[in-house]
Structure 1
Amino acid sequence: MVLARCAFVRACLALLLQASRWSARESSSCDLNRKQSELNSFLWTIKRDPPSYFYGTIHVPYTRVWDYIPENSKKAFQESNIVYFELDLTDPYTISALTRCQLLPQGENLQDVLPRDIYRRLKRHLEYVKLMMPSWMTPDQRGKGLYADYLFNAIAGNWERKRPVWVMLMVNSLTEADIKTRGVPVLDLYLAQEAERMKKKTGAVEKVEEQCHPLNGLNFSQFPDLVVCKVSMSIKEND
């Protein structure tokens, strides 16, 4: 049953990949060097005096998307005096609270809640990632003092105490492509750092608990299967 579900997930991913290839071929005649003014901004304006804005970010290294953010969005950010983010990622309390909320109740470990076979496969996969991570690091990362052991512990440290849903998200970030971009802030954090540097007033629209409790309250009857599928796909990606 688990293998069937994994096969289904992989089939869906294959279809998505094929669709993206078709889309790329169909758009090959498009001008890829469009002017900034011609790009969709995805910026919502609340007409008031002064104006307010809504802008959606994405949790990827900002260098992947910064050149594709239109100038009107950047200008709105620069001219705003107050900026509110999803969470205040510059606040040490936010980071420590996010770390705490991922943990299982006191006295419980991941091997207590996952089937033995799945736990062993997960452990072997993490051992493989730790072994491979030095070869995934870039010279630039090493030049900045970012080393494999430190990075692995920063991402996967204390993994045996984490709740399964957070372990799945953790495994998702332990690919070669993701490791190579570690050290570059995601777009949300970059904008928060820029707002701080520009002396803007900042705040958050959510509390850590409002993000953690819904995830921690999920009761996936198929969750162990999802962990297996994620580990299996990660192994294939890293081969």
Structure 2
Amino acid sequence: MNSFLWTIKRAPPSYLFGTIHVPYTRVWDFIPENSKKAFQLSSNVFFELDLTDPYTIMALTSCQLLPRGESLQKLLPQELYRRLKSHLDYVKHMMPHWMTPDQRGKGLYADYLFNAIAGNWERKRPVWVMLMVNSLTEADIRSRGVPVLDLYLAQEAERLRKRTGAVERVEEQCHPLNGLNFSQVLFALNQTLLQHESLRAGSVQVPYTTEDLIKHYNCGDLSAIIFNHDTSQLPHFINSSLPDHERITAQQIDSYFRQELIYKRNERMGRRITELLEGNPGQAFFFAFGAGHFLGNYTVLDILRQEGYEVEHTPSGQPVTEKPYPSAGSPSETELPPLRHPLGTGFPDATHPEEEPLTPHLLLPDSLSQLEEFGRQKKRPKKQQRQQGRQRQFNDLWVRMEDSTIQLPNIRTTKGTVEAPLTSQEQQKRTETHNLHPPRWDPTSPSSPAPPVIPPQVAVVCLLAVLLPRLLQPS
């Protein structure tokens, strides 16, 4: 059996692993042990996208939406919109029949599943609706509820306290899909609907099914054709039945997607792998990308070899290095040196309308085909506050004089003139005398010292300090 593991020859070695975006339970038992060993030995595990970062979903949601105030009903031709709505109504009706007993046993409901995939579809850009329609098949619905292989590896890496990261931002995968012109998008959406309407009628067969993909992967088939289809996860529009002018449009779309979603991404991913390896000598990396990025022409492997790295395929029976670290044993995360990352630390915050629910629509090609492990809801991440811990109370903002480190000078005034400050001995003697014989105020005696006068400004401030915390307490 072949494997989808490649070794980057360096000290320590790093690894490239090809995944497919199907439930991990369908392929995990067939993955060779040396691939799993390479994952275990690597201190850094990197993916195409950061699959565990909620901002990945936020950025995807933002990228999918039409500008505020627009909707598909206003944008699409009336007949195309009617067919789209009719097909989605059919899917919603069939979804309870498509779901498996195992999915129901996990607490999945058909309405929830439909809303998670197709929720708010009228506010999405047509190209994303096309992808959504392409994923609403019986086979795809029956596979929901289990993490895909990429997400499972990300969850395992976090459980094992490995350092995880990404070589792409979600915007870099997302924006090229929005680059098609409107006539091309209408053609693609119409052709997608025609294909699924024909499937419903039983007049055509899907050229590549999910079952075909799983079979080829488990058998270790390194053919690029089927796995490049998985990489783009887009319908194929080129067929002999199209008129000449439509065939030209289909070829333009296919060429655009292949260039933007495969070749350009391969170059970007290979360049960032190089930056990670060069910027972090002495650290072992495990890169898990879609298998299609390592197969065919102009792959990630080709980019790395152009950069001078020796990359070799690692068959299933070949052992991987037992100790990839310079020192014995695997260092803990706290012992690893800081990681130099070409993407920097963190991603720019994605903005999205407040009314948009943060649910994964699972439609991005590659890693985001099935991000969410259903049954574990992700809440909308709140804006990060600069200060952690409890909010400061109003009276916490007052500076207590006894806590101040500033020493005020001991100044005396006599009849409007400033005298020299008392010495420490004079001040101590006056304090002792004051404590033994405190002066009393006699209003009838002009020589009696006057009572202390509190300036009105100080009185108001003191009163506010007492009353405001009570007023601000929740009832």
Q: State the shift of 1:82 in Å.
A: 0.7
Q: Provide Cα deviations, 1:159-216, integer angstroms capped at 9, x if missing partner.
A: 0111111111111111111111111111111111111111111011111111111111
Q: Aligned pair 1:101/2:68, yes or no?
A: no
2:40 aligned to 78, 84, 89, which one? Answer: 78
Q: Provide Cα deviations, 1:94-133, integer angstroms capped at 9, x if missing partner.
A: 1121111111111111123322111110000000100111
CA distance in 2, matches of 1:196, 1:188: 13
Task: Note if contact 1:43-1:53 (Cα within 8 Å) is conserved in structure 2.
Answer: yes
Please state whether the residue corresponding to 2:19 is helix, strand or coil.
coil
Q: Give the AA of the match of 1:138.
A: T
Aligned to 1:235: 197
Q: Aligned pair 1:213/2:175, yes or no?
A: yes
Q: Which has the higher helix share?
A: 1
Q: State the shift of 1:68 in Å.
A: 3.1
Please state whether the residue corresponding to 2:165 is helix, strand or coil.
strand
Task: Note if contact 2:133-2:193 (Cα within 8 Å) is conserved in structure 1.
Answer: yes
Q: Give the AA of the match of 2:73.
A: Q
1:160 aligned to 122, 126, 142, which one? Answer: 122
Aligned to 2:25: 63
Q: Provide Cα deviations, 1:198-238, integer angstroms capped at 9, x if missing partner.
A: 11110111111111111112226332232122223223434
Please state whether the residue corresponding to 1:74 is helix, strand or coil.
helix
CA distance in 2, matches of 1:40, 1:68: 10
What are the within-5 Å matches in structure 2 for residues 17-36 of structure 1?
none
Task: Note if contact 1:175-1:238 (Cα within 8 Å) is conserved in structure 2.
Answer: no
Q: Give the AA of the match of 1:131.
A: H
Comparing 218-227 and 197-206, the one that deviates more:
218-227
Query: Residue 168 and residue 48 in structure 1: after superposition, are their counterparts in 2 closer, same or farther (change >3 A)?
Result: same
Total equivalences in the alignment? 201
For structure 1, the 5+ residue unaligned runs are: 1-38
Aligned to 1:199: 161
Comparing 158-167 and 148-157, the one that deviates more:
158-167
Task: Note if contact 1:103-1:163 (Cα within 8 Å) is conserved in structure 2.
Answer: yes
Q: Give the AA of the match of 1:170.
A: M
CA distance in 1, matches of 2:182, 2:92: 28
CA RMSD of aligned residues (A): 1.5
Task: Note if contact 2:22-2:143 (Cα within 8 Å) is conserved in structure 1.
Answer: no
Task: Note if contact 1:137-1:148 (Cα within 8 Å) is conserved in structure 2.
Answer: yes
Q: Give the AA of the match of 2:48.
A: E
Aligned to 2:302: none
Q: Give the AA of the match of 2:136.
A: L
Aligned to 1:140: 102
CA distance in 1, matches of 2:32, 2:79: 49
Aligned to 1:31: none
Please state whether the residue corresponding to 1:194 is helix, strand or coil.
helix
Give the TM-score, by structure 2 length: 0.41
Please state whether the residue corresponding to 1:141 is helix, strand or coil.
helix
CA distance in 1, matches of 2:136, 2:48: 24
What are the within-5 Å matches in structure 2 for residues 164-175 of structure 1?
164-175=126-137
Aligned to 1:15: none
Q: Give the AA of the match of 2:160.
A: M
CA distance in 2, matches of 1:91, 1:149: 26
Identity across the alignment (%): 78
Q: State the shift of 1:150 in Å.
A: 0.3
Aligned to 1:44: 6
Q: State the shift of 1:64 in Å.
A: 2.8
CA distance in 2, matches of 1:81, 1:236: 49
CA distance in 1, matches of 2:200, 2:109: 19
CA distance in 2, matches of 1:203, 1:196: 11
Comparing 63-72 and 178-187, the one that deviates more:
63-72
For structure 2, the 5+ residue unaligned runs are: 202-475
Aligned to 2:112: 150
2:91 aligned to 110, 129, 134, which one? Answer: 129
Please state whether the residue corresponding to 2:60 is helix, strand or coil.
helix
CA distance in 1, matches of 2:77, 2:32: 48
1:118 aligned to 68, 80, 96, which one? Answer: 80
CA distance in 1, matches of 2:200, 2:29: 28
Query: Residue 178 and residue 148 in structure 1: after superposition, are their counterparts in 2 closer, same or farther (change >3 A)?
Result: same
